[in-house]
A and B are shown apart, each in its own frame.
Chain A
Amino acid sequence: MFSDELKAFRRLGFRHVLLQVLNFASVIASGLMLWKGMSLVTNSESPIVVVLSGSMEPAFYRGDLLFLTNPVSELYKTGDITVYKIPGADIPIVHRVLETRNFPIKDWDPSTSSSPHPVEQKMLTKGDNNHVDDLALYEGLDWLERKHIVGKVRGFMPYIGYHLTILLQNDFPQLKYALLGGLALLALLQRE
């Protein structure tokens, strides 16, 4: 079945294989650069996320794409939709801020502090589609703090990430492995 492919592979020679590898590496590297560059601009470790749960329905469904920023100069406000990751929890959560409590920092010095605001924020969040707030999701923490937050949702694009939810979650395991296997085969056998 693959004998033709193998023959073609031999005919093209070693230099061609090297070139292919180089191309592949440059694609990966530019993707990574773009991602890290966006991270720098938005000050968020993950500036684009895919919604993985239904707790913000009917606004965000699984597979929707969210664009985040996390500007140092801005405090979080009620009504902001945040993506946060509690240490110990495996997936980041997309929920809306319900309460903000800004505690003044004593002896705040703008030259040494990492934050331009003399306050420390404690927050409580809730999913629009949930009946109760997120206290139970905080893994024993009393409040959500700035350090847990990946970013604030600024932009929205529906459906685009749906194929990613198939790959990341195990709803359709056969489809998942068929997709992964197919992609791997294509990448191996493609000649251009």
Chain B
Amino acid sequence: MHSIFSRLNNGSSLLSSCLMGLLLAVTLSTFVFTAEPQGNLTIGSIRVLEGRNPRRYNQKQEVGVVRFNVTADLTPLFHWNTKQIFLYLQAEYNTTEGVQNDVVIWDRIVRRKEDASINVVAKDKYHLRDVSRTFRGVPHAQYALKYNIMPYVGVLTYGEVARTSEAVVFPKLGEL
């Protein structure tokens, strides 16, 4: 009954239940942190150019190139269970045909508190495209800066840092 095997078995099962309890406690502790990060988002310019449809390579498709300015302070989001923050900027628009679109145009992975003060003036990483292959049916778009906190263990949480206060009008092909 008191063989080395049973001792090992009991010891490891106690250890693993302690570990699970600890992980559960860490998971629950994350719900205490409810910081609201501050940030600002402005859209510099939008250009609509002619490009190719990545799904049908011989087809032409309009491509929206967005320049933007993002400042955000994500430091309050870093607590002891923050592994990294996925920050993303998305365009939100409805076409005249009633299709609702959310399209991420830029993202960044923030892994350290020292890098959490964001100040970016940049062009999009992923160009805007519409399913109809043209932006003629898209009068304007809203832009929002959002984040996803990815923990060491536990629940993934989402939130919004900033949003354009007014809808940004889409230019015609070739115009600024």
User: A interface vs B, CB < 8 Å?
Assistant: 58-59, 77-79, 81, 96, 98-104, 119, 122, 128, 133, 135, 142, 153-158
14 example contacts (A-B, Cβ-Cβ < 8 A) are as follows A58-B84, A58-B109, A59-B83, A79-B148, A99-B104, A100-B101, A100-B102, A101-B101, A119-B100, A128-B86, A142-B55, A155-B154, A155-B155, A155-B156
Q: Which residues of A contact B100 (CB under 8 A)?
A: 100-102, 119
Q: Which residues of A contact B146 (CB under 8 A)?
A: 78-79
Complex Cα–Cα for A156 and B155 (A): 6
Asked if A156 and B90 make an inter-chain contact with CB atoms under 8 angstroms apart, the answer reads no
Asked if B99 and A103 make an inter-chain contact with CB atoms under 8 angstroms apart, the answer reads yes
- Contact A59:B103 (CB < 8 A) given known A79-B148, A128-B109, A157-B23: no
Determine the main DSSP class of B at the interface with A. strand
Closest chain B residue to A99 by CB distance?
Answer: B103
- Contact A79:B88 (CB < 8 A) given known A135-B55, A158-B152: yes
Complex Cα–Cα for A98 and B90 (A): 9
Complex Cα–Cα for A96 and B156 (A): 13
Contact of B156 among A78, A100, A142, A154 (CB under 8 A): A154
Asked whether any CB of chain A lies closer than 8 Å to the CB of B80, the reply is no
Asked if B154 and A156 make an inter-chain contact with CB atoms under 8 angstroms apart, the answer reads yes
Q: Which residues of B contact A135 (CB under 8 A)?
A: 54-55
Asked if A153 and B156 make an inter-chain contact with CB atoms under 8 angstroms apart, the answer reads yes
Complex Cα–Cα for A142 and B126 (A): 17
Closest chain B residue to A192 by CB distance?
Answer: B6
Asked if A79 and B99 make an inter-chain contact with CB atoms under 8 angstroms apart, the answer reads no
Within 8 A of A (CB), among B50-94: 54-55, 83-84, 86, 88, 90
Complex Cα–Cα for A153 and B98 (A): 29
Asked if A158 and B153 make an inter-chain contact with CB atoms under 8 angstroms apart, the answer reads yes
Complex Cα–Cα for A175 and B109 (A): 35
Give me the 4 closest cross-chain CB pairs, A-B, nearest first.
Answer: A102-B100, A78-B102, A104-B98, A100-B102
Extra 10 A-B pairs, beta carbons < 8 Å, given A78-B88, A128-B86 = A59-B84, A59-B86, A78-B90, A79-B88, A98-B126, A101-B99, A101-B131, A102-B101, A103-B99, A156-B150
